[in-house]
């Protein structure tokens, strides 16, 4: 049985919805979706929900809020004692801007805050991994908007299992690759996420060196040749020598181009070279049928 950090979200808990990466366009559809999400959290789970302005682009500039503004909103939200979870619904390219403007004081505040969740995915992989250096924040790979999108049943079940019922359903849904001679999954912590965005941390102080024994990878964009170069980059950095397990989530463009067999062969070659156990999960990625995946265990 996988043992993970236990912190249950209860009725009446305070949660925040914000954006650290690219803000959403303020279209009627996006506004309606955020309001629908807020209503679901309030009516189905009795959470007290605050929506921060960083969710959307700035009306005056037509652009995402500045890095300093987004960083201040994030730090303020995480450090408030009553807040139990921060749900980041953004994605795109800009999340690493926050790392460039975080001050020592910001990190000091983040490291002494009480235990709480930071939940995001895709471009926010840079924050999920950076937060592995502080014990107080529990990073979770998940896009909360999946709760109100098409085929939401899977995401809702996963959300309730991980945050409310405190099960380890995300680990139960892994499939061992046929290349594994003996599946002996004993995870400690998890690093990775979106492969392109995770690699933004390479060469920075935020690269999660020796912080986990599981590497999780998924992607929205990238055909097999692009994914090959990402794997080569990971190999050159040395990350495969620091982990024991590799989990492949969903690779959207690979799937759409029917290149999954080439992806599996690629991953098996690296797994064999570095003696990694390889696992698969179709419940991690950018599609709608996903589960939250805790990275701190």
Task: Tell me: pLDDT of 2 over 70.
Answer: no
Domain spans in the chain, listed from the N-terminal domain onward: 14-167+290-294, 170-280
What is the distance between the alpha carbons of residues 111 and 205, in angstroms, rounded to a whole number?
16
Cα 155 to Cα 146, 162, 174: the distances in Å are 6, 10, 16
Q: Across 20-77, where does the E strand assignment appear?
A: 48-51
What CATH number should be reported for the domain whose range is 170-280?
Answer: 3.50.30.60
pLDDT digits (tens, 9 = 90+) for 147-172: 999 999 999 999 999 999 988 778 88
Q: What residue ranges in the chain does DSSP mark as E strands?
A: 14-18, 48-51, 83-88, 116-120, 137-141, 175-176, 190-194, 214-219, 245-251, 277-280, 293-294
Q: What pLDDT is attached to residue 6?
A: 73
**Integer Cα distance of 162 and 48 in angstroms:** 19
Inform me whether the pLDDT recorded for 15 exceeds 90. Answer: yes
Mind listing the pLDDT tens digit for each residue in 176-201?
A: 998 887 778 899 999 999 999 999 99
| CATH top-level class of 14-167+290-294 | alpha beta
291 Cβ contact list (under 8 Å, min separation 6): 142, 154, 155, 157, 158, 161, 162, 169, 170, 173, 283, 284
Quick check: 1 pLDDT over 60? no
The pLDDT value recorded for residue 275 is 96
Q: Per-residue pLDDT tens for 29-52?
A: 999 999 999 999 999 999 999 999
**Percentage of the chain surpassing pLDDT 90?**
88
Question: pLDDT tens for residues 65-118?
Answer: 999 999 999 999 999 999 999 999 999 999 999 999 999 999 999 988 889 999
- Calpha distance 136→158 (Å, rounded): 23
Tell me what the mean pLDDT of segment 202-218 comes to.
Answer: 95
């Amino acid at each position: 049985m996988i043992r993970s950090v236990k912190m249950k979200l209860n009725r009446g808990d305070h949660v925040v919805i914000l954006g650290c990466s690219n803000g959403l366009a303020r279209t009627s559809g996006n506004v309606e979706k955020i309001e629908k999400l807020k209503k679901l959290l309030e009516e189905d789970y009795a959470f007290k929900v605050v929506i921060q302005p960083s969710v959307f682009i700035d009306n005056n500039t037509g652009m995402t809020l500045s890095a300093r503004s987004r960083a201040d909103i994030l730090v303020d939200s995480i450090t408030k004692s009553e807040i139990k979870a921060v749900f980041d619904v953004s994605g795109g390219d800009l999340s690493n801007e926050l790392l460039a403007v975080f001050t020592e004081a910001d990190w000091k505040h983040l490291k002494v805050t009480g235990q709480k969740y930071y939940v995001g995915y895709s471009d926010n992989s840079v924050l999920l991994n950076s937060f592995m250096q502080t014990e107080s924040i529990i990073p979770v790979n998940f896009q909360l908007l999946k709760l109100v999108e098409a085929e939401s049943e899977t995401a809702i079940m996963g959300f309730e299992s991980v945050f409310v019922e405190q099960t380890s359903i995300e680990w139960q849904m892994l499939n061992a690759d046929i290349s594994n001679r003996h599946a002996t999954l004993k995870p400690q912590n998890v690093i990775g996420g979106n492969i392109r965005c995770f690699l933004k941390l390479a060469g920075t102080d935020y690269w999660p060196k020796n912080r986990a024994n599981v590497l999780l990878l998924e992607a929205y964009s990238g055909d097999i040749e692009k994914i090959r170069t990402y794997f080569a980059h990971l190999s050159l950095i040395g990350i495969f020598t620091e982990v024991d397990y590799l989990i492949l989530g969903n690779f959207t463009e690979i799937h759409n181009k029917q290149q999954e067999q080439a992806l599996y062969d690629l991953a098996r070659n690296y797994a064999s070279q570095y003696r990694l156990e390889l696992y698969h999960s179709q419940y991690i990625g950018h599609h709608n049928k996903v589960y939250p995946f805790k990275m701190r265990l």
